[in-house]
Amino acid sequence: MEKIRLGIIICDRYRTCAGGKCFKALHNREGAFARYLGKDVVLVGYTTCNGCPGGNMEYTPDEMVKNGAEVIHLATGMLVGYPPCTRINYFKKYLESKYSLQVVLGTHPIPEKYYIEHQKLGTWNTESWQEIIKPLVQNKKECLDYN
C-alpha cells in the first residue's frame, strides 16, 4: 500500500483547536483527504501558521519535510474563517516553491453552516474560490456531518 506522509498547518485563530475535524476527515478520507482513499497516511506534523502574517510558514514546513512530509495541507479553518486567510494562495505558492512539495488547500469538508454564511456574504463568488472549495463541498452529507 502506498504510504503518504503529510503535515497540517492551521490558522492561528484556532490555535487551541485539538484537530478533531481534521483528524476525523483524515481517518475517514473525507474532504481534501478523499484523495488518499486506499493509501496509508502518516501525519508527520501539525501546527499553526503562528498568526498573521504567517511566521511559521518560513520554518515549520522544514521540520515536516525532515520528518518525511510529501504534502502539506493548509487547514479548512484557513478557508472558512471570517475573513478567510488573505495569504493562503501566497503560502501555497511559497511552500511549493521553497520545499518542492505538494500543498493542498483544505482538510475536512466545509461545515454546511459556514458554507451558507459565506454564500450570503459572497466570500467565495469568484472562479478561483470556487475551485479551492470544490473538493470540500462536494458531499452534502459530509458537510452536514461536520456542522
pLDDT tens sequence across 33-85: 999 999 999 999 999 999 999 999 999 999 999 999 999 999 999 999 999 99
**Span 110-126, average pLDDT:** 96
Domains of the chain, start order: 3-145 (3.40.50)
The residues that bridge with 73 in the sheet, in sequence order, are 8, 104
The predicted structure's pLDDT at residue 77: 97
Nearest Cα to Cα of residue 33 among 20, 23, 47: 23
**Residues 83-103 pLDDT 10s:** 999 999 999 999 999 999 999
CA-CA distances (angstroms) from residue 29 to 22, 71, 107, 122?
10, 15, 10, 29
Question: Residue type for 144, please?
Answer: L
| Residue 17 per-residue DSSP state | -
CA 32 – CA 95 distance, rounded (Å): 18
CA 69 – CA 42 distance, rounded (Å): 9
| pTM (predicted TM-score) | 0.95
Direct distance between the N- and C-terminal alpha carbons of the chain, in angstroms, rounded to an integer: 32
| Residue 35 per-residue DSSP state | G
Reply yes or no on whether the pLDDT at 1 is more than 90: no
Q: Other C-beta atoms within 10 Å of 139: how many?
A: 14
Percent of the chain clearing pLDDT 70 (strictly above):
99
The predicted structure's pLDDT at residue 2: 77
CA 2 – CA 40 distance, rounded (Å): 6
